[in-house]
Chain A
Amino acid sequence: MATISEMRPSGLNIRGLKNVPGGLSQLPLIWPALMILGFFAIPLFFLFRVSLANRDPAVYQGTGFSLQAFTQLGQPMVLNAVSFSVMLSLIVASISMLVTFPATYFITRLSRRAQVAWLIGFLSTLALSEVLITFSWQILLSKKAGMSNVLVMLGILDESMSLAPSFGGVVACIIYLVIPFNFMTLYPGLSRLDTSYLEAARTLGARPTRAFFEILLPLMRKPIATAFLTTVIMTIGAYVAPIVLGGPANWTIGVVISEVAITGQNLPLASAIAILLMLVTAMLVLGINRIGGKGYVS
């Protein structure tokens, strides 16, 4: 369809330059282009370059070319952390989805005022630093000031106890961190959902569970896959929660990378692990996309 602007003869203003490559219209893009290339594309290139360097105590980024760092990826510290991180992220993503999906669905059926209140609540927890949330979970799981005291008051426990370090503590804290993100991913789809399908199903006598599995879930496949993936990406490189609430057995690949880079000062190896982590994440993205349909859009 021809729009009015296309029918108007050009020449009076700079719009005429629109189709010239590098025309004036591209001018404002110079600023973001320089910044994004300079401070993201080049740093990303450095990551690949350093992963191929020899470790050199005298030179920060290492020197020369070698595959040394990649051959070190086979050590148990790295492999265990990778498999633990993948397992952790899948567990967290599944539990979080089981909670967030119904919660988001119910919230989108509430009044507008109530929805705004929930949105502000979710956004506020989303805005809280990972550090602060982990810190409050550390208090919650502690012996002196934690949940176990409440359980003692209710008579469920005889004596207060420390619930961290533990795998459960790490999982609970990360779920808390990702729930608002999942909510924000599912909210648009669920709030635009055409409920007439569900009503039709109900009028035709379908049980709610059947309507859920055969209508709601397929309709929401894409946002669910996206939310699941966001959680996996956030969890797989988690740093603060595992190091504070978990023991060495609960160290994710994120913790290992930081240890190697900061404590060990071995930047070639840290870069190689980061690239491995990117590959594992990409594989998970592709795998989950296959199940969820082409769901992942950033």
Chain B
Amino acid sequence: MMTDKAAWLARFVFLTLVAIFLAMPLIVVSSVSFNDTAQMVFPPQGLSLRWYEEFFNDPTWVGAFERSVIIALSASVLSTSLALPIAYAQWKHRSKVADALAALGGLPFILPPVVIAIVFLLFWGIVQHVGRIENIIVSHAITFVAMPLVMITLGFASVEQTLVEAAETMGAREDQVFRSIALPIVLPFIIASLIFVTIFSLNEYLIAYMVGGFATQTLPVKIFSSMRTGFTPTMCVAAVLFLTLGLAGFLAIARLGNLPKLMGAKG
């Protein structure tokens, strides 16, 4: 029988190994980005910011980065605007139509990503609207709508029902109930879904590659094509940039709201 101390040590070692496994690629990428030589060497030789300079002076990298940000922000707003009425109708009216829409909207999450990518590739090809930036925005918004649906539903579920009933008894109209009672509670969940969809869209590759054209190359697509043609440490700069953005987003959620609860923990 293991003593408590040995069990604690075993846990500690195990969790440390998991943490190292998770951190390993991040460490390698970020240290290569600060490397002084053009070669991919690890451990890095000499510290420099020259690849950062190169990244921000190259219009193709900056362009891809800006496009990615525009797509991600638009997709997150669009996706959340689809999820909010559905989650609201499910909560307020127990609407069957909303249930059906939620089920349909959740479908992309139980289909392999490549199937979704092919579905959108076909669709934009058939309607002959190819290689436009809005194709990626709409496709991302639909693909990720399950995320805001789940989160905003969680938000409405935490609205005290007695408050709503009290307001209604006193004659508050539906929009007043929504604005003054539900919205303040649901708002952090809406912001969290905006951040989540932004981050996921920012990083999505396959759909962006299939429905976009050369002129709409996003950062992941550009990284992928550079990866096939040859290394440059500039790619690592892009990676570090994304990692920082993701980290900032989730830190914001953690500060703003109850991250463990949003992820489904109690209390």
Residues of A within 8 A of B (CB): 3-5, 8, 12-15, 18, 25-26, 28-29, 31-33, 35-37, 39-44, 46-47, 50, 60-61, 99, 102-103, 106-108, 112, 115-116, 119-125, 127-140, 142, 144-147, 149, 176, 179, 184, 187-189, 191-192, 207-208, 233-234, 236-240, 244, 253-254, 257-258, 261-262, 267, 270-271, 274, 277-278, 281, 285, 296, 298
User: Interface 1/0s, chain B 74-94, versus A by CB < 8 A?
Assistant: 000010011101101100110
Pairwise interchain contact B85-A29, C-beta atoms closer than 8 A: yes
The answer for the CA separation of A26 and B174 in the assembled complex, in Å, is: 13
Which residues on B sit within 8 Å (CB–CB) of A36?
82, 101, 104-105, 142, 145
Pairwise interchain contact B21-A176, C-beta atoms closer than 8 A: yes
Pairwise interchain contact B89-A207, C-beta atoms closer than 8 A: no
Pairwise interchain contact B29-A139, C-beta atoms closer than 8 A: yes
Which residues on B sit within 8 Å (CB–CB) of A61?
122, 125-126
Pairwise interchain contact B250-A32, C-beta atoms closer than 8 A: no
The answer for the CA separation of A137 and B176 in the assembled complex, in Å, is: 53
Is B260's CB within 8 Å of the partner chain A?
yes
Per a CB cutoff under 8 Å, which of B14, B40, B122 touches A43? Answer: B122
CB distance from A243 to the nearest CB of B (A): 9
B: interface residue count bin? 35 or more
Decide: A136 near B28, CB < 8 A? Known: A207-B1, A274-B119: yes
Which residues on A sit within 8 Å (CB–CB) of B24?
140, 147
Q: Total contacts A to B, CB within 8 angstroms? A: 291
Which residues on A sit within 8 Å (CB–CB) of B98?
29
CB distance from B171 to the nearest CB of A (A): 7
The answer for the CA separation of A30 and B116 in the assembled complex, in Å, is: 23
Pairwise interchain contact B115-A278, C-beta atoms closer than 8 A: yes
User: Interface 1/0s, chain B 21-51, versus A by CB < 8 A?
Assistant: 1111110110010000001111100000000
Pairwise interchain contact A285-B110, C-beta atoms closer than 8 A: yes
Pairwise interchain contact A132-B223, C-beta atoms closer than 8 A: yes
Per a CB cutoff under 8 Å, which of B119, B138, B166, B251 touches A44? Answer: B119
The main secondary structure of chain A at its interface with chain B is helix
The answer for the CA separation of A280 and B156 in the assembled complex, in Å, is: 36
The answer for the CA separation of A271 and B119 in the assembled complex, in Å, is: 8
> Could you show 23 A-B contacts with beta carbons less than 8 Å apart?
A13-B171, A36-B82, A37-B104, A43-B120, A50-B126, A121-B22, A127-B249, A130-B203, A131-B223, A132-B239, A132-B242, A145-B28, A176-B25, A184-B264, A187-B264, A188-B263, A188-B264, A192-B264, A233-B111, A237-B115, A238-B114, A239-B113, A274-B114
Pairwise interchain contact A103-B14, C-beta atoms closer than 8 A: yes
The answer for the CA separation of A43 and B23 in the assembled complex, in Å, is: 39
> Which residue, A149, A237, A270, has most C-beta atoms of chain B within 10 A?
A237
Pairwise interchain contact A144-B29, C-beta atoms closer than 8 A: no
Pairwise interchain contact A127-B174, C-beta atoms closer than 8 A: no
Per a CB cutoff under 8 Å, which of B26, B123, B146, B266 touches A42? Answer: B123
CB distance from B83 to the nearest CB of A (A): 7
Pairwise interchain contact A125-B26, C-beta atoms closer than 8 A: yes
Which residues on B sit within 8 Å (CB–CB) of A128?
26, 203, 239, 242-243, 246
Which residues on A sit within 8 Å (CB–CB) of B126?
46, 50, 60-61
The answer for the CA separation of A184 and B150 in the assembled complex, in Å, is: 13
Which residues on A sit within 8 Å (CB–CB) of B122?
43, 46-47, 50, 61, 267, 271
Is B206's CB within 8 Å of the partner chain A?
yes
Pairwise interchain contact B171-A12, C-beta atoms closer than 8 A: yes
Pairwise interchain contact A47-B165, C-beta atoms closer than 8 A: no
Per a CB cutoff under 8 Å, which of B93, B169, B246 touches A127? Answer: B246
Is B235's CB within 8 Å of the partner chain A?
yes
CB distance from B192 to the nearest CB of A (A): 11
CB distance from A177 to the nearest CB of B (A): 11
What residue of chain A has the Cβ atom nearest to residue B168's Cβ? A5
CB distance from B8 to the nearest CB of A (A): 10
Decide: A139 near B28, CB < 8 A? Known: A61-B126, A192-B266, A298-B109: yes
User: Interface 1/0s, chain B 228-267, versus A by CB < 8 A?
Assistant: 0000000100110011001101110010000110011110
Is B106's CB within 8 Å of the partner chain A?
yes
Is B227's CB within 8 Å of the partner chain A?
yes
What residue of chain B has the Cβ atom nearest to residue A6's Cβ? B165
Which residues on A sit within 8 Å (CB–CB) of B141?
35
Pairwise interchain contact B227-A138, C-beta atoms closer than 8 A: yes
Is B59's CB within 8 Å of the partner chain A?
no
